[in-house]
């Protein structure tokens, strides 16, 4: 497993070793020792699986009382995945890391607690799976506006146009108005 550092040190990309032959492939998608090697101690309590069509944008979501770290990957299709640092005391507050996750590249993206997370579906259909460090708490969920100019996220919308958003994501907060971590 190759661990790739990003512009925000706490956000990591894991590139698994894939063993393939004419029968298919095998890879490990999670091993606790990888986290220890990277100096992290995250325990996972919940796994999620979502399916979306091209142009769906989910996020940018976060929880305050039960912040979730998310270890995310695509098992079918392709997404543009984004993590935004919302830790007020962080030197990278308001900055983001983005990467393309695909079923082919098999990369795994670590979004730590204290970050907003979202993704845009780039393929016709995508299935997305992720492990969480805290349980989902619907009463504790917040959302940042995906196209807040302050965030300056270069969403790849060519061939998509306007993304498909949930009502919650359409009414999300700007960073300047958001309720944030201490």
Per-residue pLDDT of the chain (182 residues; tens, 9 = 90+): 888 899 999 999 889 888 888 988 887 888 888 878 877 777 899 999 999 999 999 999 999 999 999 999 999 999 999 999 999 999 999 999 999 999 999 999 999 999 999 999 999 999 999 999 999 999 999 999 999 999 999 999 999 999 999 999 999 999 999 988 66
Q: Which residues are catalytic?
A: 61, 130
**Contact call for residues 134 and 67 (beta carbons, < 8 A):** yes
Q: Would residue 74 count as lying in a domain?
A: yes
pTM attached to this predicted model: 0.92
**Total domains, the chain:** 1
What's the order of all strands across the beta sheet hosting 96-102? 96-102, 78-85, 115-121, 57-63, 141-143
Looking at residue 182, its pLDDT comes to 63
36: tokens are 């220890």
Q: Would residue 133 count as lying in a domain?
A: yes
Q: Is 158 helix (H, G, I), strand (E, B) or coil?
A: coil
What residue numbers bound the domain in which 88 lies? 2-177
CATH number at residue 132: 2.60.120.10
Q: Would residue 182 count as lying in a domain?
A: no
With residue 37 as reference, give the H or E element that holds it.
Answer: helix 32-37
Q: Would residue 60 count as lying in a domain?
A: yes
Q: Would residue 128 count as lying in a domain?
A: yes
Question: What is the CA 116 to chain-centroid distance, rounded?
Answer: 8
**Contact call for residues 146 and 155 (beta carbons, < 8 A):** yes
């Amino acid at each position: 497993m190759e661990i790739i550092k990003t512009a925000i040190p706490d956000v990591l990309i894991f590139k698994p070793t894939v063993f393939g032959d004419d029968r298919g492939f095998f890879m490990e998608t999670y091993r606790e020792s990888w986290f220890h090697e990277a100096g992290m101690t995250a325990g996972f309590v919940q796994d999620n699986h979502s399916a979306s069509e091209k142009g769906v944008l989910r996020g940018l979501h976060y929880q305050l009382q039960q912040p979730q770290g998310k270890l995310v990957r695509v098992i079918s299709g392709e997404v543009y995945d984004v993590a935004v640092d919302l830790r007020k005391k962080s030197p990278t507050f308001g900055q983001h890391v983005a990467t393309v996750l695909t079923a082919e590249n098999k990369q795994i993206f670590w979004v730590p607690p204290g970050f907003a997370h979202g993704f845009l579906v780039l393929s016709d259909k995508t299935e997305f799976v992720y492990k969480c460090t805290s349980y989902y708490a619907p009463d504790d969920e917040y959302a940042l506006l995906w196209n807040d100019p302050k965030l300056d996220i270069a969403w790849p919308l060519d061939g998509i146009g306007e993304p498909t958003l949930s009502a919650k994501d359409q009414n999300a907060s700007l960073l300047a108005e958001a309720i944030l971590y201490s």
